[in-house]
Every structure is written in structure tokens, then in C-alpha cells.
A and B are shown apart, each in its own frame.
Chain A
Amino acid sequence: MYNYWLAVFLMMAGFYVVIAQGNLVKKIIGLGMFQTSVFILYVSMGKVEGGSAPIVTEGVEVYSNPVPHVLMLTAIVVGVATTAVGLSLAVRINEAYGSVEEDDIQELDDELDKIQESGL
């Protein structure tokens, strides 16, 4: 049962990073934590008491549920690909604004708005 509590805890830890911290790279790491907690939840649900790894072996009767394993396996690889998209967005934002801090970016945007308004 602790696995379920841990999944909730890690998910909330990741969630906290995403909403409370301003650094974009750290937010992506938080999302990664959030994602891993879902993997842990699914794989924990696939566990069967006394079950072995789902590869046919002689003398083994009970196997863990292979379905969550399949779902999470592909999700991990898709996860790294989407994380890469997020990181490259952060790199581009850094090129454009010179910062990956949310507050700095907001300030720069506000200043830009003011300049545009006064120009009109």
C-alpha cells in the first residue's frame, strides 16, 4: 500500500515544483517527477502477490500483469522525447529573453507592452 502513498507524494512534489517555482528547467524536472509517479502507480497496480516477471518460465504459475508494464514502457520513451521538446523550448526562450526565469520573462514582456503602447 505504501507504493500508492508514495505515488501521491511524488506527484504532489512534482506538481509543487511546476506551480511554485519560476525556473523553466526546474519546472521540466518537476514534470518529470510527476510523470514518474504515474509510472510507479501503474506498475504497482500490475503487481500480483507471489507473481513473477511476465516472461514464461518453467515451474512458474503466477505472473505479474503485463498490461501496465507495456503502457509504462512506451510512456517512458515518449516521455523523454516530449521532455526534449520542453527543454529545447527552454533553450529557445533563453536565446530570445536571456533568461529562463518566469518573472524576468514576464517583466521583459510588460516593458515591451509599455513601449508599444507609448509608441502608438
Chain B
Amino acid sequence: MLLTCLAITALVAIRRNDLFAVVMLFGIYSFLTAVLFMNLHAVDVAFTEAAVGAGISTVLMLSTLRLTKRYEAARRRNPILPLLVVGVTGAALVYGMLDAPRFGDPMAPVHQHMAPRFVQESPTEVGVPNMVTSVLASYRGYDTLGEVMVIFTAGLAVLLLLGIREGQNHRLGRLAIGDTLVLRVVVKVLIAFIMLYALYVQFHGDFGAGGGFQAGVIFATAFVIYDLIFGEADARRVMPTHWLGRLAAMGIFLYAGTGVASMFLGHAFLDYSALGHDPVHGQHLGILLIELGVGITVFAVILTIFHAFSGMRRPDQVS
């Protein structure tokens, strides 16, 4: 049922040439994917997809539509050749998948190599109930550091391409979507809860679903909403844009610094066992610190990207 819904949403999104509708459909598509991940017991992934795919992506794509055009030009090309290519590739993939292990098979090769160790040892070795967190932050700490750097670099690339300018709402008190009393009151109350929830996700990620990636995105959402309801200038007074770059760098510094600190204490880079009086305690401290670093960087980069897009003027408005 869910799978059919996903397929239909994708097909409709392809056929529409009103890009606003396509972006909205893509939001629904992301949300359905999140539900699917939840069904597959991938709680952390579902959480991230809901916050990132259905939330931030949609906002960024809508900002892009504001800066470009809403309607796609009529198609002038013949769709037969692309369809043929897609058909052949799809058939090849299906053929390759025919001898894949049965869905959910506990004896599949994926579950044989590293997974048993992570599932059985991580609760005692790392001492964190959420296995996803212990793999992400401890066993796979190097890769996660790399991913955070990719995010940082992507933020830099957006800054180089667009820069942070002052948009049409740069005067204090000028709002993006008009002065609506109900929205102002509701959002003012809501923001406190969003931030509180982000902090909960950040620091409770060791025990339940969540962690730095999700928390950073949710924290950034609070500022995005503030920007939309109370105006760009007010939002930038709360969180000045030149701070965001420093924050993004600081997050990576905190992450890598934790690794260097464990090197100075005589262990390998990012081996947090060195940080506490016993290894498990050290792991706890290390994971807390690097998740905080991840959260800060993700927050700063997402908000920077949002400011870069919201600060652009439409080409026809440039005088």
C-alpha cells in the first residue's frame, strides 16, 4: 500500500509541469519514505528523512522557485530514447536483483560480517543503548568526521555561489508573509518547544532515536520559522550571519579536537576510551562531544544556506 503510494507520487511528480506542485509532491514523497523507514525499524533514518527531506529540502526548493520560474517550459523533445535507456537500465538492475537474498533473511551476507559484532558487543563496549549512535560516533567516527566536512564544504560552496546578501525584507519589522497576529503568537510559543526538542534530540541521541545530525536540522528550523514570521532583519539580529561561519568551523574543531585530545592521552585518533577514567565512561564523553560538534556544524550550515537563498532578490526585482 505504502509502496504503491510512493510509486504514484513519483509518477505524478514527473508528469506535472507546475514546479510548485512538484516540490510539494516531493515533500509528500519524502514523508512517505520516512514512514516506510519507520516500518522497516530504521527509526534514526526515518527521523532524519522527516526533518531533512520533508522539511528543509522543501523550504530550499521553494526558495529556488521564488528566484527562478514556477512553470516548466513545454517539452520539445522526443521521450522515446530516454524511456528506452531507462527501460534497459531498469531491466538490467532487476535481473541483477533476481538472486539477491530474500527480503528480511537473517542469513543474508549483509548481516554476517560486521553487524553481529556491533549488535552484540556495542552495548557493553561503548555502553550506549542506541547501536546506530555507537556505530556512527565511535566505530565509524572517521567517516562521520568526513561527512561533517562534506556538509561544511557544501555550505562554503553555496556561500561562494550566492553569498549572503540582504534580501527585500532587510529592514527591521519587514516580514516575508505579512503581519498575522495568530501566526506570531503561535510561533512565539512554538519556537521554545522546537528548540527544547532539538536539545532533547541532541543529548538523548545515545539512548533513543536522534543525534547531532537531526538536532542540528531541527534547531535550524526554529530560526527559519522565526525568519519567516518575524522578518529577516530581526532574525539576523538574533543570530548574526557572520557568526554562523564561525559556528560551523567550531563544530568541526570540536569534533577533530576530541580526536586529537584522545591522541595526546596515548590512544588512537578518535579513540574516546582515553577520555574517561574507564573506557566506557570515556566513550560516553567522546560521543557526547562529537555529537555536539556535528549538531553545531549542521545547524550553522543549514541556516547559512537558508540565509543565502532568502537574501537573493528575484532577477526582475534587481534595479
Residues in chain A within 8 A of chain B (CB atoms): 1-6, 8-17, 19-23, 25-26, 28-30, 32-33, 36, 39-40, 43-49, 51-57, 62-70, 72-74, 76-85, 87-92, 94-95, 98-101, 103-104
Contact = CB atoms under 8 A, between A and B. Distances in A.
Given A16-B86, A23-B72, A77-B48, A85 B154 contact: yes
What is the predominant secondary structure among interface residues of chain A facing chain B?
helix
Given A53-B43, A77-B213, A16 B13 contact: no
A10 B86 contact: no
B135 A70 contact: yes
Given A69-B42, A89-B161, A29 B79 contact: no
How many chain B residues sit at the interface, stated as a range, is 35 or more
Contact of A82 (B102, B154, B309): B154
B104 A73 contact: no
- A-B CB proximity, top 4 nearest: A81-B154, A20-B82, A49-B104, A66-B131
B3 A39 contact: no
A102 B123 CA distance: 53
Contacts, number: 269
Contacts of B292: none
Given A6-B6, A29-B22, A84-B305, A1 B102 contact: yes
A73 B132 contact: yes
Given A49-B106, A80-B53, A16 B82 contact: yes
B75 A22 contact: yes
Interface of B: 3, 6-7, 10-11, 13-14, 19, 22-23, 26, 29-30, 33, 36-37, 40-45, 48-49, 52-53, 56-57, 60-61, 63-65, 67-69, 72-73, 75-77, 79, 82-83, 85-87, 89-90, 93-94, 97, 100, 102-106, 108, 110-111, 114-115, 118-119, 123, 129-132, 135-136, 140, 143-144, 147, 150-151, 154-155, 157-158, 161-162, 207-209, 211, 213, 217, 298, 301-302, 305, 308-309, 312, 315
Nearest to A18: B82
